[in-house]
Structure 1
Amino acid sequence: MDFRDHLRKIIHVDMDAFYASVEQLDDPSLKGKALAVGGSSKRGVVAAASYEARKYGVKSAMSGRQAARLCPHLIFVRPRFERYKEISQQIRKIFFEYTDLVEPLSLDEAYLDVTVNKFNFPSATILAREIREKIKAKTGLNASAGISINKFIAKVASDINKPNGQKTIPPEDVIDFLEQLDIRKFYGVGKVTQDKMYRLGIFTGADLKLKTLDYLQEHFGKSGLHYYNVVRGIHLSEVKTTRIRKSLGAERTFSENISSEIYMLEKLEDIAEEVERRLKNSRVAGKTITLKLKYSDFSVQTRSKTLKLFIASKALIMEETKALLYQEPIKDSIRLLGISLSNLNTEQPKSVKKPSIPKEEQLKLPF
């Protein structure tokens, strides 16, 4: 298989520090300052950090307490998700001006397949620049972009010239780019896999490419084939215009740790009500219910049960959640509780058929 058999023109657009940038946009007094959205100096988790805060090591998913230690003058603001959704919708409208093949990954990033676009324009690089300029003009926010032959490389490329930049990896540069790429940048390589690869002497794409398919499958199981293909520029995942939700839930972090199971049940009642609301809004139900507990030492435990029937009502959610809570003793005080439903009653949509490109013309297409 040759990556040239599957050439597409994919743009990955990623907003720069989206939540924090929206807050700085709406409140000019925050511009140029170290800012964290979510969390606080005492509790909670940082949802996003401005670039000024990132210089101090502050990043998303970090505890507010740790962020405050790293950056004592850090400003914490409460997230405003409705506002973020409003701007995200404006950005997506811009995407659809160019192509109907748009796959949102979150509020602040998406893949666009512009192989065949609404302007019949040949250069994905110029289209990406124009899209970023429109986003800036419409919202006042900066976006970065990566452009290449598949989703994997485009996503990696979008991070290279951040913030407010873009990077194109044309077909003729794909193999050299992948061989020089740090293994940590490869999709599907988390911290555990990274450490394992390091132990096996795999530090770059070139090192990975030296390994046979049998070797990679022996050490990494089913993921071995993915690693074998992707380092050769082969990533067949199409831009999916409809993403199937796999789970739905809600969670709460408390201002003070709680240890009473009765008090936990009170909090879970509120969480279950929120889950019910989200299920109804999404018109889905689920069979697998999961209770998430984060202890005072930040360790996380999950307890799950798969039911015979789909559920969506607060009453049934609480009935199962209560059973999970009492399934075994609570080992310590709790700082966070969460409830989620998975194994949802959603159907897999038919994939969108991609426009074909004559193979003999592929390498002639300008990027």
Structure 2
Amino acid sequence: MEIPGLLLAKSHPDAAAAEHCSNIQYRPKLIGHDRTPAMQRWPRIVLHADMDAFYASVEQLDNPELRGKPVLVAPNSWRGVVLTASYEARRFKVGSAMPVAEARRRCPEAIMVEPRFERYAAISKQMVEIFGDFSPQVETLSLDEAFIDMTGAEGLFGTPAEMGHALKCRVLEATGLNISVGASATKYVAKVASAYDKPNGLTVVPAAKAKAWLAPQPINQLWGVGAKTTTKLHAIGLMTIGDIAGASPDWLAEHLGSAGRHYYELSHARDPRKVTRSRSTKSMGSDRTLSEDVTKRDAILEHLRRNAERIARRMRAKDYVARAVRVRLKTTDFELLSRQRTLAQPVDTADALMEAVTPLLDAFDHRGPYRLVGMVAFDLSWSKDPAQPATAQLDLFESIRVRKPATRREREAPAARNRLTRSASQSVKEGTRRDLEATIDELATRFGSDVLISATDLERKHTVMKNGINLNFRDGECVSRPRKPQKKGDSGSSANKETEHGS
């Protein structure tokens, strides 16, 4: 379907010579008449930049022997999942989050490469600095993608197509890697556009043409529509974004709830969200892929305890507290189940997290076995923020450090006073726990994470996947490298990966 005013541009394959980036030849596919007047009338100009097969591309960049070959960045274990597949591997229908065993079955020639998160983070930082040279309004979504608000920058960088071209060249020159760029008047359309012509693509969708361009695209291109929702939408006869746009908002709301109206707005290319310069962390979590499936409650709690310790340590390092917690269990059929609850007051200790999640196990109907155990602390806020809600005021008692037993007057006080005293005593208990865990944090920082081991860990059977990936995430971005592989014969525990993901 030809959409007047749509511009697609593709770099030649030999454009990898970064020093000649300014001479890169583009093959624009121009549809319709001159685009310049329409582009000048855009209400906003939003670019979405997305690195192509980021982890795998970095590995191919650093190791020329991997170039042109199918590469899977994943833990070296059949029980792990693929983090990134190179485009050579994707031809075999291999993709991210696919079990390694299935990926190897589909692509037996694939080369397995273990991730190097510090390297990826370094390139990501370099990329974001480049984006900052184009605009002060940069919203990072993860290590490999970001929104850039270019509104009003036509005088400096030209048309949106020229902006995208310049951005691609700068990233290639600095990193040796290609990115795909989408440009439009809204964040949603720009994001869809960046994926439209991957890899190494540039797609520009003028505001006036966005609705028509979206219409023939599959329904799963709507932001927030996953596999389950796609099946549900197909069941009610909605196959394309245009089908959503042509439906009644009331009918959509009847069948899909509040999400129906949201999809309707997106299908009309309406997305009022601004590019926000800073994104606060909304969650911290840790998922553990196991070498042996678990079923028993005690075994699940062992892994949740380790998750809680990691999450709490990272929250304290960032001065965060959490007001809600979630448990994630993945079955051997790769079905991901979750249960969550809000907390009476914000917490940042492993003990408090465990007290909150232990009752949640009773809410799972599935009996297992499970191959992954995870925990997420969310609804985070800065513990030192003076503008915290009143529910956080109970933390005042943490600094009181009540040491003496209650006096007779206190024991005979009215019921309300007794409740207050109990709250204070509980807060003192939490304060003591926090002091202990904070001390362990300092020891781990100075002497390594294994300097102290919990007594309950001494007799535990190690069931975490050896040399695997323990997904410690903070809203989406990788911030540290995994541990070095252990020597043969050592008891296995998972390697660590920390990420930040946007939501």
Instruction: Provide the secondary structure at the position in 1 that maps to 2:220.
Output: helix
**Partner Cα distance (2:336, 2:171) in 1:** 39
2:98 matches 1:52: no
Instruction: Provide the secondary structure at the position in 2 that maps to 1:317.
Output: helix
Q: Which residue of 2 aligns with 1:144?
A: 180
- Structure 1: any 5+ residue segments left out of the alignment? 350-367
**Partner Cα distance (1:135, 1:46) in 2:** 26
Q: Which residue of 2 aligns with 1:356?
A: none
Question: Structure 1, residues 273-331: CA drift from partner, whole Å, max 9, x if none?
Answer: 21122212332111222222223333333233322111111232233344445777982
State the shift of 1:46 in Å. Answer: 0.9
State the shift of 1:142 in Å. Answer: 0.8
Change (3 A) 1:6 1:119: closer
2:313 matches 1:253: no
Change (3 A) 1:57 1:280: same
Q: Check the 8 A contact 1:97/1:118 in 2, yes or no.
A: no
Q: Which residue of 2 aligns with 1:238?
A: 274
2:119 matches 1:92: no
Q: Within 5 Å, which residues of 2 pair with 1:80-159?
A: 80-117=116-153, 120-159=156-195
Question: Structure 1, residues 53-92: CA drift from partner, whole Å, max 9, x if none?
Answer: 1111110011111111111122222222222111100000
**Partner Cα distance (2:334, 2:321) in 1:** 30
Instruction: Provide the secondary structure at the position in 2 that maps to 1:46.
Output: coil
Decide which moves more: 32-41 or 328-337: 328-337
Instruction: Provide the secondary structure at the position in 2 that maps to 1:287.
Output: strand
Question: Structure 1, residues 144-192: CA drift from partner, whole Å, max 9, x if none?
Answer: 0001111111111111221111111123422321233332322233333
State the shift of 1:224 in Å. Answer: 2.7
| Letter paired with 2:316 | K
Change (3 A) 1:193 1:277: same
State the shift of 1:260 in Å. Answer: 5.1
Q: Within 5 Å, which residues of 2 pair with 1:201-240?
A: 201-240=237-276
Change (3 A) 1:253 1:206: closer
| Letter paired with 2:227 | K
State the shift of 1:343 in Å. Answer: 2.2
Question: Number of paired residues?
Answer: 345
Instruction: Provide the secondary structure at the position in 2 that maps to 1:154.
Output: helix
Paired residue for 2:216, among 164, 168, 180?
180
Paired residue for 2:334, among 293, 298, 313?
298
Decide which moves more: 299-308 or 159-168: 299-308
Aligned CA RMSD, in angstroms, stands at 2.6
| Letter paired with 2:151 | T
Instruction: Provide the secondary structure at the position in 2 that maps to 1:163.
Output: coil
**Partner Cα distance (1:306, 1:257) in 2:** 29
Question: Structure 1, residues 168-224: CA drift from partner, whole Å, max 9, x if none?
Answer: 112342232123333232223333333333333333343333222222222222223
Question: Structure 1, residues 5-53: CA drift from partner, whole Å, max 9, x if none?
Answer: 9821010100000011111122222222211112445111111111111
| Letter paired with 1:167 | T
Instruction: Provide the secondary structure at the position in 2 that maps to 1:159.
Output: helix
Q: Which residue of 2 aligns with 1:354?
A: none
Instruction: Provide the secondary structure at the position in 1 that maps to 2:141.
Output: strand
Q: Check the 8 A contact 2:75/2:115 in 1, yes or no.
A: no
Instruction: Provide the secondary structure at the position in 1 that maps to 2:164.
Output: helix
Q: Check the 8 A contact 1:98/1:118 in 2, yes or no.
A: no
Instruction: Provide the secondary structure at the position in 1 that maps to 2:273.
Output: coil
**Partner Cα distance (1:227, 1:329) in 2:** 31
2:70 matches 1:70: no
**Partner Cα distance (1:6, 1:74) in 2:** 45
Q: Check the 8 A contact 1:287/1:342 in 2, yes or no.
A: yes
Q: Which residue of 2 aligns with 1:273?
A: 309
Change (3 A) 1:215 1:258: closer
| Letter paired with 1:314 | A
Q: Within 5 Å, which residues of 2 pair with 1:325-344?
A: 325=361, 331-344=367-380
TM-score by length of 2: 0.64
State the shift of 1:259 in Å. Answer: 4.3
| Letter paired with 1:296 | T
Q: Which residue of 2 aligns with 1:359?
A: none
**Partner Cα distance (1:326, 1:231) in 2:** 40
State the shift of 1:123 in Å. Answer: 1.3
State the shift of 1:118 in Å. Answer: 9.3
| Letter paired with 2:118 | E
Q: Check the 8 A contact 2:82/2:98 in 1, yes or no.
A: yes
Identity, in percent, stands at: 38
2:72 matches 1:43: no
Paired residue for 2:319, among 283, 293, 300?
283
Change (3 A) 1:291 1:187: closer
Change (3 A) 1:267 1:8: same
**Partner Cα distance (2:263, 2:360) in 1:** 38
Decide which moves more: 8-17 or 322-331: 322-331
Instruction: Provide the secondary structure at the position in 1 that maps to 2:98.
Output: coil
Q: Check the 8 A contact 1:98/1:119 in 2, yes or no.
A: no
State the shift of 1:268 in Å. Answer: 3.2
TM-score by length of 1: 0.85
Q: Which residue of 1 aligns with 2:52?
A: 16
Paired residue for 1:7, among 43, 46, 52?
43
| Letter paired with 2:72 | A
